[in-house]
Structure formats: C-alpha cells, structure tokens
C-alpha cells in the first residue's frame, strides 16, 4: 500500500508541476513542457533449468516462462533557456529486479529525476538522479538494437546520483563531468564520492565516438577500500542508410583485488559489436557478438570451476534477432541468444547436470507515446 501511495504521490507532483509551469511561464512555448509514455512487454525462455524463475545475467526480460512487463513508465520534461528538469517514473520487472529495493523501496519507481540550470552559454549544471553515462547499450529496451542485454552492459552501472556539469565545445565535440555517490547507487554506500567523465566526438555525420569513465572506492562502509577505475569506449556508425553498427569496449582496474595476491590490482575486459540492418521500412535484422573476461571477479563475483578453483566470469555469446515496426513508435521483436562460459566454468544446468552454455529466446512488444 505504501508503494502505491508513493507512485500516486509522484504522479500527482508531476501533474501539479505541469499546471504551475504552464500557467506561470507565459513567455515560453507549449513545447517547453512535455509528457511522454512508454511500455514494453515480454515473454522470455531459456534452457537453464536451475530451479529459479529468474534468469541469470538478464536485467531485461528477467523472468523465465511468463508473460510480463519490462517497464511501464511516464516522463515529464521541462526545458527553457535557463532551467531544465526531468522526472521519469517506472513500474515493471526492470525496476523491480535492478533498482534499489531497500531501505527505501520507493526508489525503484524513480528511473531519473534531476533539475539543472544554465551557468554559461554552453554550460549546464544538473543535480539529482540520472541514468548512467556508461555503456554502449542502455537499460531501456527501445534505445537498443536488441532487448537482451550484453554481459558488458549487465555489469555496468544502470543509474547514478550526484551532479553533472556538461559543456558543448562545438557541434561535433561535447563533454560532461560527474561527481557521484558511487557506482550504481542512489544513496551513498561509504564516505567516498566517485568521479566520472564523458567525452564525445562526431568527426562525421554518420560517426560518433564516446569515451566514458568512473573512478572511486566502491566498497561498502567498513570494508577495505578498493579504488575502481572503469573505462568505456563506444563507437556508433551509420555505415549506410540501412545499416547501423555499434561497438563497445570496457576495461576496469581495481586495486587490492587479485585472487592470488590480495595486495595486487586486478582488471577486467568486456566488448560487444552489434549490427542492425533495415531490410524494409518495417522489418530489420539484428546481430550481436559479445565477450566478457573478469578472472578476478571484480564485478561478476566469484565461481568455483570444475578444478575447484575460485575464479571470476569468462563468457561469450552471439545473438540474432528480427524487428517489425507496424508504426514508427512501436515494434515487435524476436531474438535468440547463445551464451557460453569457459569450459571449466559450468554455471548453467539442464536440470540434472551442470553445463557451460544456454540458449534463450525473447519476444517483446513495445509502444511509445
């Protein structure tokens, strides 16, 4: 009941803000304040019969063999020459299984909520809750080629809280600096803050290159401090009018994290390449290859392999999909992914025996309004 009240209260706030802004800012156009909505539903299945309905490594479409809602969300956005703000409220499996659940359960219903002001001609400063600046893919399915999420994206932060200072150097170069509570947290989990950077370059109309990072001590209060330096590189290429290519690479270092020598630093690497080809105006085909190597379990956590060694995650995968868009603001997708881990790392199950691979299928429908 309390969660329902929080949702209702937040929606009420958006409606009131809309009325106040529209009635008081007469000098602004009607387009300065906008509402939008989005919903995404899914059915997912895989052959990992581990006795749990939740699918491993699946932040999107996380529940097996049920018809479910990924997200149903509403956004209120205000923009003027001097101030701006956005509030997005969400409901569904994405926030249920990926956003904070305690001690403040209402946080799962807030996808982003921030406000900012123009400090100079091309300089904006924003405060609040944000979607992460890290990653080639995002946590909202409509913004990705595929509904399933690569392992690289799965272990990246989804959200963050703090302050962002962004500046457009030119039409082709932009950048942002971040001061954050931490890696994938709203509320701070220790006494340290994290810092982040985004630098984007558009050398041509069909090419965009982005470098992102975040650095800080991400260990909970009371634990031994370990500084993590996470780097992310993204390339977006419109190779032809019908073919889009996406490339992402992640590299992270964390001190005092080597499994053999606890005083030594450890690192991880992950990468993906994805293609989307428009066969007709309504039909598209998609493909993605991915790799993830985190031998010291910096982000993946720890597993025991068949040699009884403690290790992090080694895995790779390939995904194929089709998308049909009956309307510009909606789609139907079907995709299949084959995911495999190191031969000695049997983290999946066929019901009686451990195995190192799984096959999955996802069907999604989505509409934005």
Rounded distance, CA 109 to CA 100, Å?
Answer: 9
Q: Domain 2-368 in CATH: superfamily? A: Porin (2.40.160.10)
At 326, the pLDDT band (50, 70, 90 cuts) reads very high
Rounded distance, CA 291 to CA 272, Å?
Answer: 7
Buried b (16+ CB within 10 A) or exposed e, 292-327: bbbbbbbbbeebebeeeeebbbbbbbebebebebee
What is the per-residue pLDDT for 31?
A: 53
- β-bridge partners, 267: 253
Rounded distance, CA 225 to CA 190, Å?
Answer: 10
Q: Is the pTM of this model over 0.85?
A: yes
**pLDDT per position as a tens digit, 107-144:** 999 999 999 999 999 999 999 999 999 999 999 999 99
Structural domain boundaries in the chain = 2-368
Rounded distance, CA 348 to CA 354, Å?
Answer: 6
Rounded distance, CA 33 to CA 55, Å?
Answer: 39
Instruction: Give the pLDDT mean for 230-241.
Output: 98
**pLDDT per position as a tens digit, 338-350:** 999 999 999 999 8
Rounded distance, CA 180 to CA 187, Å?
Answer: 10
Rounded distance, CA 215 to CA 259, Å?
Answer: 21
Rounded distance, CA 133 to CA 225, Å?
Answer: 24
Rounded distance, CA 340 to CA 359, Å?
Answer: 9
At 13, the pLDDT band (50, 70, 90 cuts) reads very low
Instruction: Give the pLDDT mean for 185-204.
Output: 93
- Share the mean pLDDT of the chain: 91
Closest C-alpha among 57, 232, 231 to residue 150:
57
Judge whether residue 24 has pLDDT over 60. no
Rounded distance, CA 122 to CA 167, Å?
Answer: 5
Q: Note if the bond before 301 is cis, omega within 30 degrees.
A: no
**pLDDT per position as a tens digit, 68-105:** 999 999 999 999 999 999 999 999 999 999 998 777 77
């Amino acid at each position: 009941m309390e969660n329902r009240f929080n949702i209702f209260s937040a929606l009420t706030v958006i409606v009131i803000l809309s009325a106040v802004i529209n009635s008081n800012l007469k000098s602004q156009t009607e387009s300065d304040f906008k509402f939008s909505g989005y919903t995404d539903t899914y059915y997912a299945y895989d052959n990992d019969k581990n006795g749990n309905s939740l699918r491993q490594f699946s932040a999107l479409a996380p529940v097996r063999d049920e018809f479910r809602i990924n997200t149903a969300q509403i956004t209120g956005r205000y923009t003027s020459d001097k101030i701006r703000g956005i509030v997005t409220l969400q409901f569904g499996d994405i926030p249920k299984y990926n956003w904070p659940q305690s001690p403040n359960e209402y946080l799962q219903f807030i996808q982003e909520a921030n406000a900012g002001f123009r400090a100079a001609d091309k300089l904006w400063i924003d405060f609040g809750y944000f979607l992460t600046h890290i990653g080639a893919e995002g946590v909202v399915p409509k913004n990705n080629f595929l509904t399933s999420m690569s392992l690289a994206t799965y272990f990246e932060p989804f959200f963050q809280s703090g302050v962002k200072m962004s500046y457009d150097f030119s039409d082709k170069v932009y950048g942002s600096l971040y001061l954050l509570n931490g890696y994938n947290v709203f509320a701070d989990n220790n006494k340290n803050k994290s810092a982040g950077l985004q630098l984007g370059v558009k050398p041509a109309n069909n090419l965009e290159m982005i470098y992102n990072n975040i650095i800080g001590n991400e260990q909970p209060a009371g634990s031994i401090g370990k500084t993590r330096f996470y780097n992310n590189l993204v390339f977006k290429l419109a190779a032809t009018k019908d073919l889009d290519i996406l490339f992402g690479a992640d590299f992270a270092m964390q001190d005092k994290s080597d499994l053999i020598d606890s005083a030594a630093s450890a690192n991880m690497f992950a990468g993906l390449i994805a293609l989307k080809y428009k066969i007709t105006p309504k039909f598209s085909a998609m493909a993605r290859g991915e790799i993830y190597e985190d031998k010291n379990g910096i982000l993946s956590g720890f597993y025991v392999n068949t040699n009884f060694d403690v290790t992090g995650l080694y895995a790779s995968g390939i995904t194929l999909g089709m998308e049909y868009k009956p309307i510009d603001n909606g789609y139907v997708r079907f995709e299949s992914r084959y995911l495999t881990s190191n031969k000695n790392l049997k983290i999946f199950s066929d019901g009686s025996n451990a195995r190192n691979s799984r096959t999955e299928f996802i069907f999604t429908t989505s509409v934005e309004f």
